[in-house]
Amino acid sequence: MSEQLPDLSILRRCWSGYDDPATTHTVQVNGVKIGGSKPVIIAGPCAVESYEQTLNIARAVKAAGAHLLRGGAYKPRTSPHSFQGLGREALEILVAVRAETGLGFVTEVMDPRLVDLVAEHADMLQIGSRSMQNYPLLREVGRTDKPILLKRGWSSTLEEWLCSAEYVAMEGNRNIVLCERGIRASCHWSYARNVLDLNVIQPVRQATPLPVMVDPSHATGQWSLVGAMSQAALAAGSHGLLIEALAPEVCREDLLCDAEQGIPQDVLQEITRAAEKMDVSLPSGLRAAAKC
């Protein structure tokens, strides 16, 4: 017996409050448009570890052609004994680095009590994979005027992910970008950290007017896989990428968080060059690239 998958485009009608649910809603972050024809590359360290490290990475990220900076101030770590992030100090570092480089930044907020503080500093608020179903947090960020990067929970269905976006939108904040970051499967820490679910990109684009990005760093856990998965993600129709990158001349062994994931600057440059040739306003970035 054959089973048919549902037509998800029907769901687009449910997104009230968007100018035109038939087109992708664009989200502006510090003057950078996510959801337009150009893929947006957000890159930076897993965690902010010092002013100098963050400034060096930001300069490298900018020189490589990326558009926004990422960097964790509050880190969700499996072990409570691992580095938890520099907190408020990291937010101040990111603000200083933005003043120096002009790069807007996205950083994670995990605690509903810290939403106002993080929103005062950041250009975009990240809801991490572990927090995707923290409903009080979703409601709280929904009351801010900052764009939200909503990561997919690593075992969440598309429906659960979209319901989480709706929690944010219902409070009035419709500037939401979805981010696929890999789902947990049998590869876990064998050849990769997670499975990058590129299958989900087109259904997301059918089901919502929201832009969707891909994080190939947490999906793979391995920097050598990030270049190929970045290009694959854009070809699959992702509106952009969220990537962990290394500062030049840094020793990855010295990093306090996700040391194996950060890509060197030349790889980031290859990714941004490939991205520049793509038009992600069409369902598949690759089809557009093939035309040029």
Nearest distance from C-beta of residue 218 to ligand PEP, angstroms: 4
User: What is the rounded CA–CA span in Å between residue 219 and residue 214?
Assistant: 9
Q: How far is CA 160 from CA 67, 132, 165, 175, in A?
A: 30, 9, 9, 18
- Of 23-31, 159-167, 206-214, 254-262, the segment contacting Mn ion by CB under 5 A is 254-262
Q: Restricting to residues 21-80, which ones interact with ligand PEP according to CB under 6 A?
A: 46, 72, 76
Cβ atoms within 10 A of the Cβ of 26, count? 17
Place of tokens 């696929």: 180
Place of tokens 């947006």: 40
- Return the closest-CA partner of residue 181 out of 190, 193, 169: 193
Determine phi and psi for 180, rounding to 5 degrees: -80, 130
Chain centre distance of CA 176 = 11
Choose between 108 and 123: whose C-beta lies nearer to ligand PEP.
108
- Return the closest-CA partner of residue 244 out of 285, 200, 214, 199: 214
**Interaction mask 202-231, ligand PEP, x per CB under 6 A:** -------------x--x-------------
Contact 212, 233 (CB under 8 A): no
Residue 123 touches Mn ion, criterion: CB under 5 A: no
Residue 151 touches ligand PEP, criterion: CB under 6 A: yes
- Of 2-10, 127-135, 160-168, 270-278, the segment contacting ligand PEP by CB under 6 A is 127-135
User: What is the rounded CA–CA span in Å between residue 193 and residue 236?
Assistant: 20
**Interaction mask 15-54, Mn ion, x per CB under 5 A:** -------------------------------x--------
- Return the closest-CA partner of residue 47 out of 78, 90, 3, 12: 90
Choose between 174 and 218: whose C-beta lies nearer to ligand PEP.
218
Nearest distance from C-beta of residue 223 to Mn ion, angstroms: 12
Residue from 258, 262, 271, 284 touching Mn ion (CB under 5 A): that is 258
Choose between 193 and 205: whose C-beta lies nearer to Mn ion.
193
Strand intervals (E) in the chain: 27-29, 32-34, 40-44, 68-70, 105-108, 124-127, 148-151, 176-180, 212-214, 240-244
> Which of ligand PEP, Mn ion, none sits in contact with 98, Cβ below 5 to 8 A by type?
none
Contact 244, 225 (CB under 8 A): no
Residue from 128, 142, 147, 227 touching ligand PEP (CB under 6 A): that is 128
**Interaction mask 205-244, Mn ion, x per CB under 5 A:** ----------------------------------------
Residue 197 touches Mn ion, criterion: CB under 5 A: no
Binding-site size, Mn ion (CB under 5 A): 2
User: What is the rounded CA–CA span in Å between residue 223 and residue 48?
Assistant: 18
Residue from 56, 129, 164, 230 touching ligand PEP (CB under 6 A): that is 129
Binding site for ligand PEP (CB under 6 A): 46, 72, 76, 108, 128-130, 151, 181, 215, 218
Binding site for Mn ion (CB under 5 A): 46, 258
